[in-house]
Structure 1
Amino acid sequence: MRTVFIPVASPLHDEKAVQELIHQYREGVKDVDSFTPLIASEEEVQSVNIRQDDVALIGVLTGGTEHLILAIAKRAHTIALLPHPTQNSLPASIEAQSRLSLSGYSSVIIKEWPPKDSVRSYVKAWKAVSSLKNYVFGLLGRPSPWLVYSSGYDIEKELEERLGISFKFISLNEVYRQYRLIDEDEARELAVQITSRAVDVEVPMNEVIKSVKLYLAIKKILEKEGIKAFTIRCFDIIKSLDTTACLPLALLNSKGFVAGCEGDVPALLSMVVLKELTGKPGFMGNIAWVKKNRFLLAHCTVPLDLPTKYKLRTHFESGRGVGISGIIEEGVKVTLVRIDPLTQSMRVVKGKVISGFPQSNQHCRTQLWIESSDSIKLVTEPIGNHYVLIYGDYYEVLKWVAEAMDLYLL
């Protein structure tokens, strides 16, 4: 799938004015994959390189172009009309969009001049969504049994059919086998580096070494299989290896992989979308408590480059292995996302961190209290437990992601 900018104008146009408009458009849509020459006739529509999976951003330079827009729509996957304030551009866009909507075409009008943030968000969203078809999601063990809503073959089938994502199952026995092959000295060297960067270490060095060995084992498997994103049935590892996956996932998320917990595929999908949009890793956490307009997001793993500081503690539920207690700066704006393939919806929650310092020994180790007007919906309108947090306000671009994925925005 490509994003393509296509300028259209009536044959009766002011050449100088149109060229000036094209220059202004090109500056605002410079992130698209391709530009076509000016189109002023239906014959020219047939001659330009437009593919059926293209997202066509049409610069409506003049009025009298509605028929050209419809001709392009018959050849492209999705249409975004980009009007400007003069030359009867918006009237033509409204007329054409009315017909496109009635005929069932995927189309929008983006009224922004000069084209800037909204248009760039639209392009970024489509690029992120189109990248999903290149993903193979690794399933290291089957999902945890308590994920009664967030797992199942119906979810995997939905992602395969709608988004082109494929899945590769890897037995935990292979993880255990690779773990036993890891060089102890290599693991110790990395463990020393990790502990030296922590503000506090509450676990013995041999526990950190075991956890690092697991990281190296998983990393070796991912590189061998060509997998960039995976989720793991982590609790079984505690029984088999007497360590936890919390630190390995934290390290892998900081090293360019997308690593999710417990086999939660919808949460993994949410993490991947955010990574493609922002280039940054997300923090996957439990909705641990909700109180009025605030909620607690907590988990025992967090990408190591996300908190300002971190402590190494044990895993909360088991009291074993290594858990990450991240300290997050207060006042930071955040966006939380969960994509739900079952209801074909996406929830986007904007908020602000009001406490990023772990305060409780009765919750997972990294704990963020977040203020948001949408807090109560997490309980009253649930679509699964795990949410993914990213720094910053990404609501506008995520609206376009929802449209590109044909998801209902909650």
Structure 2
Amino acid sequence: MRVSVVEVASSWRDIREVTSRAGHYRAELAVLGASKGIDFRWHDPDVSATELAASDALLLLVLSGGTEQLGMSVISRWKGPLAILAHPGDNALAAAIEMLALARSTGHAGIIIQASPGWRDGVSLAFALAKTHASLRRATIGSLGSREVEIMTPWALEGAVSEVWGPQLVHLPLGQLVRYSREADMQAAQDIVDEMRAQAPRVVEPDARAMLGSARIYLGLKRIVEEHGLDAVAVHCFALLTPLANTGCYALARLNDEGVPATCEADIPSCLTMLFMRYLTSAPSFLANPSSIDLGSDTVVFAHCSIPPSMCATYSLRSHYESNLGVGIAGELEPGPVTVVRIGGKDLREIYAASGRLVECGDREDLCRTQLSVRFDRPEDARLLLSRPLGNHHMIVRGDWTHQINQYCSYFRD
């Protein structure tokens, strides 16, 4: 990632003091760049818009007060997100606050980082968020088929995805997936079946025919992803039951492990959520339904059939729960911290993000195959699922990412 750094200081300040401050920050940022893979490029305040445009983000280093006009002249030549690093003294923070207020009023996304102990972590996070933002704005989500019930009309949904979060949404015929699955190379499909058998410690319902059909759906879906340059895909998987007598569970799980967020039931808000979390965490997530909510223990059971195998300590190959067809995955995960996330609400402007702890995995036969019991850190987060849900499907990702999610929304959302 390339970041332009511009220092601003008042001409009334002692030049030796300003030079000393600047040297300190240059040395610290050099260490940060080497450890995080950030290419910091230093510029004078009169840097041109063309030079700035060659970078992915802007860091404005405010070394003193009395710099508002100089800083805003730099910001006026910049089109993307910015971070303002304020020296801890000499009225630098006051100037930084004024700059950000003016910048946000003209449509810039930005954040202030105070140069107090730990500031390098703040800078690193700011540019990780900027990278997520840039990746979303370059992304394309494919939708194969449509849901029977959707939160808004297709054209409004397409506009909300693009305008609020960035990705372009393209609608593709589900029939293309049916055709490509039928055309899939038999030997390639058989090789995938052999991988399934070799990697899964236990196979319950799926026979050779079911596994071969699931492998062909995976190959067909991967072909569509590659042909259309998709970064994520949402599939109306129930519509595959009749023409293919199989399901998309295995295909979606495997694509997620390969870095392509893939959701079932043509759920575009969930696909957007999964893509956001992939860019933010570089990790796969598990789309699941809340199946029971115990407000006494603040514990929610989430279940579904398409968990990415890489998230599991071990797993079994089962059938898809509702249809008893195809290949679903019954995963068992190690206990530990998780984040539950969902984008939704009016124009997709709301996000639900709750931290908790995965306490156990279930094996009930009346639920989808992978069953995770999550105890929420805050009781109100469990209650919100019953009082103000943003939708049924939620993404579960390993680790507590609520701080990063909240910072992203503070940085880039109104």
Common fold, TM-score beyond 0.5?
A: yes
Provide the aligned C-alpha RMSD in A. 2.6
Q: Tell whether 2:283 aligns with 1:276.
A: no
CA distances 1:300-330 after superposition (whole Å, capped 9, x unpaired): 1011111111111111111222111011111
Contact (CA 8 Å) 2:340, 2:355: kept in 1 or not?
A: yes
Alignment of 1:122-141 (within 5 A): 122-141=126-145
1:290 Cα deviation (Å)?
1.1
- Equivalent residue number for residue 238 of structure 1: 241
* Aligned equivalents of 2:358, 2:89: Cα separation in 1: 44
Structure 2: any 5+ residue segments left out of the alignment? Answer: none
Identify if the C-alpha distance between structure 1 residues 397 and 224 changes in structure 2 by more than 3 Å, giving closer, same or farther: same
Where 2:382 maps in the other structure, the secondary structure is: coil
Contact (CA 8 Å) 2:161, 2:348: kept in 1 or not?
A: no
Alignment of 1:349-364 (within 5 A): 349-355=354-360, 357-364=361-368
* Aligned equivalents of 2:263, 2:328: Cα separation in 1: 15
CA distances 1:30-71 after superposition (whole Å, capped 9, x unpaired): 6556523243xxxx2558833499743211122332221222
- Equivalent residue number for residue 171 of structure 1: 173
Alignment of 1:77-116 (within 5 A): 77=79, 78-97=81-100, 100=103, 106-113=109-116, 114-116=118-120
Q: Tell whether 2:29 aligns with 1:22.
A: no
Q: Tell whether 2:79 aligns with 1:72.
A: no
* Aligned equivalents of 1:47, 1:265: Cα separation in 2: 36
Equivalent pairs, count: 399
User: 2:140 is aligned with what amino acid?
Assistant: V
CA distances 1:218-268 after superposition (whole Å, capped 9, x unpaired): 112222222221110000101111111101111111122221111111111
1:88 Cα deviation (Å)?
3.8
TM-score after normalising by structure 1 = 0.89
Q: Tell whether 2:297 aligns with 1:295.
A: no
Identify if the C-alpha distance between structure 1 residues 181 and 343 changes in structure 2 by more than 3 Å, giving closer, same or farther: closer
- Equivalent residue number for residue 252 of structure 1: 255
* Aligned equivalents of 1:47, 1:317: Cα separation in 2: 56
Contact (CA 8 Å) 2:49, 2:78: kept in 1 or not?
A: no
- Equivalent residue number for residue 323 of structure 2: 318
Where 1:185 maps in the other structure, the secondary structure is: helix
Identify if the C-alpha distance between structure 1 residues 55 and 314 changes in structure 2 by more than 3 Å, giving closer, same or farther: same
CA distances 1:112-151 after superposition (whole Å, capped 9, x unpaired): 4352222211111111111122222111122x21x43277
Identify if the C-alpha distance between structure 1 residues 215 and 161 changes in structure 2 by more than 3 Å, giving closer, same or farther: same
Contact (CA 8 Å) 2:306, 2:329: kept in 1 or not?
A: yes
1:335 to 329, 334, 339: 339
User: 1:152 is aligned with what amino acid?
Assistant: P
Identify if the C-alpha distance between structure 1 residues 256 and 48 changes in structure 2 by more than 3 Å, giving closer, same or farther: closer
- Equivalent residue number for residue 401 of structure 1: 408
1:364 Cα deviation (Å)?
0.8
Contact (CA 8 Å) 1:150, 1:265: kept in 2 or not?
A: no
Contact (CA 8 Å) 1:139, 1:167: kept in 2 or not?
A: yes
* Aligned equivalents of 1:172, 1:105: Cα separation in 2: 39
Q: Tell whether 2:309 aligns with 1:307.
A: no
Structure 1: any 5+ residue segments left out of the alignment? Answer: none
Where 1:49 maps in the other structure, the secondary structure is: helix
Identify if the C-alpha distance between structure 1 residues 106 and 228 changes in structure 2 by more than 3 Å, giving closer, same or farther: closer
Where 2:65 maps in the other structure, the secondary structure is: coil
CA distances 1:202-229 after superposition (whole Å, capped 9, x unpaired): 1222211111111112112222222221
Greater helix content: 2
Contact (CA 8 Å) 2:5, 2:61: kept in 1 or not?
A: yes
* Aligned equivalents of 1:54, 1:36: Cα separation in 2: 14
Alignment of 1:86-235 (within 5 A): 86-97=89-100, 100=103, 106-113=109-116, 114-142=118-146, 144-145=147-148, 147-149=149-151, 152-203=154-205, 204-235=207-238
Where 1:334 maps in the other structure, the secondary structure is: strand
User: 1:35 is aligned with what amino acid?
Assistant: R
Q: Tell whether 2:397 aligns with 1:390.
A: yes
Identify if the C-alpha distance between structure 1 residues 83 and 215 changes in structure 2 by more than 3 Å, giving closer, same or farther: same
Where 1:375 maps in the other structure, the secondary structure is: helix
- Equivalent residue number for residue 5 of structure 1: 5
User: 2:183 is aligned with what amino acid?
Assistant: L
User: 2:178 is aligned with what amino acid?
Assistant: Y
Contact (CA 8 Å) 2:49, 2:77: kept in 1 or not?
A: no
Identify if the C-alpha distance between structure 1 residues 128 and 192 changes in structure 2 by more than 3 Å, giving closer, same or farther: same
Contact (CA 8 Å) 1:150, 1:264: kept in 2 or not?
A: no
User: 1:120 is aligned with what amino acid?
Assistant: S
Contact (CA 8 Å) 2:110, 2:412: kept in 1 or not?
A: no
Q: Which deviates the most, 21-30 or 344-353?
A: 21-30
Q: Which deviates the most, 149-158 or 363-372?
A: 149-158
CA distances 1:77-129 after superposition (whole Å, capped 9, x unpaired): 44432113244433433454455567775443222435222221111111111
* Aligned equivalents of 1:258, 1:199: Cα separation in 2: 25
1:201 Cα deviation (Å)?
0.6
Contact (CA 8 Å) 1:31, 1:123: kept in 2 or not?
A: no
TM-score after normalising by structure 2 = 0.88
Identity of aligned residues (%): 28
* Aligned equivalents of 1:199, 1:290: Cα separation in 2: 31
